[in-house]
Amino acid sequence: MKRAGIEENLLAILDSVSDSKHTPDANDDRLAFLEAVRSACIVNENPPTSKMREAVFQILRVGKSLELITESFRLLNELDKRFPRVYLSEKEASESSHLVVVEEGWSPFLFNLEKASREREAGGRSISGPLDSSGFLQLMQELAEVANERKLQALEIKSLRNMLLFKYLVNALEGDFLPRNRVYEETMNWTHLRESLLNMLLSTRRINYKGLMKDCLSIMCGLFGVSAGISDDLESPDNAASKPSHNGNTASALALFELGNNACIALQKLLIMIMDLDMSRKKADMQGYTTRADGVRTPLMEIILDELSYDTDMLSPFLKNDLQVFNEPKWKLEIILQYFSKYTTRLSTRTRRSNGPTEDATTFSGVLNCFSNITNTRSISKKIKADVVQVLLAHAFQAHLSSSSQQDADGISASKDEGRSTSLVEICENIISAFSNLRRTDAKMEILPIGKEALFTAATILSTETGAHV
C-alpha cells in the first residue's frame, strides 16, 4: 500500500504533462518527477513500481532538453542497478548460482505480440510504452542516418537522445543476458536464454535480422567518425567565429563526443553479446535442447565475414574502421582467424603433409606460418589482396597483444591454446617476416600506415624482450 501511495503521489507530479508538451513548465515538472523518484527509490530505497519506471523511460524517449534526457538516462540505469529484474541469487560457494527473474518487473522491451498490439490500440500513439522489435529497428535506422550522413544534424537533441536511448537499451539487454548466460553455461538449460530479451529481440520475424546487423556494422564506423569528425568541424575557426557565444552549441557538441563515443561502445557490447548468444545457441543446438520454435538465425560471425569479403576493390568500411573500433581482443582475433581460414584451409592441408601438423590457420601463429615463406605468401596474396592482408595481420597482432596481457592478468596458463601457443618473441619475429615476405612478393607494394605501426611495435618489443633476456 505504501508503494502505491508513493506511486500515486509521484505520478501526480506529471499530471499536467503530456508527451507532446515541452513548455518550460512541463519540463520542470518532469525534472521534479525525476528528482522525486530518485529521492524515493535510490536515496530511500523504496523499490520503484513499473508505472514509475515507465514514466521515467517515457521522459527519455520524448525529452527535448539535454538535462531531461541525461537525467532520465542516469536514473534508469541507477534503478536497474539497484533493483534488477534478472539477477543471480547469492548462495553458498558450493552451490551453483540460481537465476531470479522478477516476472512482474518492468522492462523497456515488450515482445509479446498480442500485448503490444493491444497496448497500441489502447494508446493510439506510436511512441509510448516499452519498445517492441520494430521500435528498436526504427531506432537503429535513425542512428544509421545520423552516422552515415555525418552532418551537424547529429547535434540535434533527437540524435543525442537516440544515442542515449540506445545505450540504455543495450544496458538493459546486458543486465538481462549476462546472468542468464552464466546460468546457462553452468546448467545447460536453454530455456533461460530462450527467454532472454536479446534472444526474443533477434528471433522475432517482424524484423529483418540480417539488415539490422548490417546496420549495426555501418553505424559503428559511422558514429565513430561522427563523434570525432564533427568535433573538429565545430572547432574550426569559421564555426567559432560565427557562433562565439552559442552556449547551447557548446553543450551539445560536448555531449556529442561523450554520447557518440558511448553509443559506439554500447554497439560493440551488443555485437559481443550476440556472438556469445550465438555460441551458446550452437551448443544448445548440438545437444538438442533447441526446438523448431527457436527458428533459424544466421550467426553474426557469418554476417561479419560476408561484410569483410563484400567489397574486394577497396577496403571495406568494416576493415577500415570497424576493426579499429571493435577492440575486444577475443572476438576480434576470432573474426580475423575465421576469415583467413576461409582462404587458407586448402593451403594448410597441403602444407600439413609436408611440414607437419603445426600449420593450422585456426591459431594466430598458424596464420603467421602461412606467410613464413615466399611461395605460400604468394599463393595467399592471389586470393586476398595485399592491403587486406596487411590490415588483418596488424589487427590480429594487436588483438594477440591485448589478449596475451589479459591472460597474464587472469593467471590462466592452462588455456586450450596453450599447447600450440607461441612465445611473444616468436610472434613478433613472424610478423616481421610476414611483412617482409609480402614486400618480396610485390616490390611495389606500399606498406600501409597500420602495417608500419605493427612492424614498429613488433621490432620494439623484440628488442626489449631479447635485450632483457641477454
Partner 1 sequence: MDAPLDFEFEDPLLNSPVIVKKSKKVIGLDDLLTDHYQEKSKVIERESKRAKAKKKYDSDEDDFDKEALLSKQINECHNQMQEMSGEAEIATWGVHVFGTQKPLPVLTLPELGSCSLLRSFMSSELNSLVELTTEKVETFLEGLLVNGWLSKLVNTCSYMEKSIAKWTFYLMLYSSKEKLRASACDFWCNILFPRVKTEKLPIRIEWFPSYCELRSALETYGFLFNYLSRTESIINNSGVRGPPKNIRAWIKFVAACCCVRNKRPVFSTSEAEELVEVAVFLSSDRQLEGLLVLLDEFVQSVISYFTDEEWNISCEKIARSISCRRVDVHSLLISFACRSPRDLNCLQTVECISGVSTRGNHLRSAISYQILLNCFDNKASNEEEILSFLISINVKDRSCDLFQMYIYLVLTENWLLSNPMFELKPVIYEMWGVYLRNCSCQITSTDMRPYASKGSLKFEPAVQVLSIQNTISF
Site residues for partner 1, 151-180, by CB under 8 A, read 160
CB of 453 to partner 1, least distance (A): 5
Q: Which amino acid is it at 237? A: P
- Residue from 240, 285, 330, 442 binding partner 1 (CB under 8 A): 240
Cell triple for residue 456? 614498429
Q: Residue 428, Cβ neighbours under 10 Å: how many? A: 24
Measure the CA–CA gap between 98 and 91, rounded to whole angstroms.
Answer: 8
Instruction: Considering the complex, state which of residue 303 and residue 399 has its C-beta at the smaller distance from partner 1.
Output: 399
Task: Give, for 30, the enclosing helix (H) or strand (E).
Answer: helix 24-37
12 lines the binding site for partner 1 (CB under 8 A): yes
Which residues within the stretch 23-42 sit at the binding site for partner 1 (CB under 8 A)? 23-26, 28, 32, 35-36, 38-40, 42
DSSP track, 145-190 = HHHHH-SGGGGSHHHHHHHHHHHHHHHHHHHHHHHHHHHHHHH--H
DSSP 317-382: HIIIIIHHH---HHHHHHHHHHHHHHHHHHHHHHHHHHH-TT--TTSHHHHHHHTSSHHHHHHHHH
* Residue number with CB closer to partner 1 (288 or 467): 467
What three-state secondary structure class fits 18? Answer: coil
Comparing CA positions, the residue from 347, 339, 342 lying closest to residue 369 is 347
Q: How far apart are CA 172 and CA 165, in angstroms?
A: 10
Do 3 and 46 form a contact (C-beta atoms < 8 A)?
yes
Torsion of CA 58, 259, 271, 453, to 10 degrees: 180
> Closer CB to partner 1, residue 196 or residue 377?
377
| Binding region for partner 1 (CB under 8 A) out of 247-255, 272-280, 287-295, 299-307 | 247-255
Q: Which stretch binds partner 1 (CB under 8 A): 1-9, 187-195, 202-210, 377-385?
A: 1-9
Question: Chain centroid to CA 410: how far?
Answer: 23
Q: At closest approach, how far in Å is the CB of 364 from partner 1?
A: 15
Task: State which of residues 147, 219, 304, 454 lies at the interface with partner 1 (CB under 8 A).
Answer: 454
Q: How far is CA 355 from CA 53, 342, 432, in A?
A: 63, 20, 21
Q: Figure out which of the listed residues 88, 152, 200, 251 binds partner 1, where binding follows CB under 8 A.
A: 251
| 124 Rama sector, left if φ>0, alpha if ψ -120 to 50, beta otherwise | left
User: In this complex, which beta carbon is closest to partner 1, that of residue 26 or of residue 367?
Assistant: 26
Footprint (CB under 8 A) of partner 1, residues 52-71: 66-67, 70-71
Alpha carbon distance, N-terminus to C-terminus of the chain: 75
Taking CB under 8 A as the binding criterion, the range among 280-288, 313-321, 358-366, 395-403 that sits at the site for partner 1 is 395-403
> Is 226 an interacting residue with respect to partner 1 (CB under 8 A)?
no
Please give the grid coordinates belonging to residue 174. Answer: 546486458
Q: Residue 70 or residue 196: which is nearer to partner 1 going by CB?
A: 70
Please list every residue from 421 through 440 that binds partner 1, using CB under 8 A. Answer: 424, 432, 435-436, 439
Is residue 459 a contact point for partner 1 (CB under 8 A)? Answer: yes
- Measured from the CB atom, the residue of 22 and 283 that comes closer to partner 1 is 22
User: Cα dihedral sign for 425, 427, 432, 433?
Assistant: positive
Q: Pick one of 183, 219, 221, 255: the residue that binds partner 1 (CB under 8 A).
A: 255
CB of 370: closest distance to partner 1 in angstroms?
19
| CA of residue 216 relative to chain centroid, distance | 9
How many chain residues interact with partner 1 (CB under 8 A)?
81
Q: How far is the CB of 448 from partner 1 (least distance, A)?
A: 10
Please identify, using beta-carbon distances, which residue of 20 and 354 lies nearer to partner 1: 20
Q: Does 181 interact with partner 1 (rule: CB under 8 A)?
A: no
Taking the complex as a whole, how short is the minimal distance between the CB of residue 315 and partner 1, in angstroms?
15
Q: Are 445 and 439 in contact, with CB atoms under 8 Å apart?
A: yes
Cβ proximity to partner 1, 133 vs 430, nearer residue: 430
- Does the CA dihedral 190-363-318-380 come out positive or negative? negative
The distance of closest approach from Cβ of residue 468 to partner 1 in the complex, given in angstroms and rounded to an integer, is 9
Q: Is there binding between residue 195 and partner 1 (CB under 8 A)? A: no
Binding segment for partner 1 (CB under 8 A), chosen from 86-94, 143-151, 245-253, 369-377, is 245-253
Note whether 228 binds partner 1 by CB under 8 A.
yes
- Cβ-based nearer residue to partner 1, 29 or 359: 29
To partner 1, the closest distance from the beta carbon of 183 in angstroms equals 26
Selected from 9, 112, 141, 375, the binder of partner 1 by CB under 8 A is 9
Sign of CA dihedral 68, 71, 74, 80: negative
Query: Going residue by residue from 258 to 287, which x/- string records binding to partner 1, judged by CB under 8 A?
Result: xx-x--------------------------
Distance, in Å, from the CA atom of 125 to the CA atom of 118, rounded to the nearest integer, reads 12
Query: What residues does 86 pair with on adjacent strands?
Result: 101
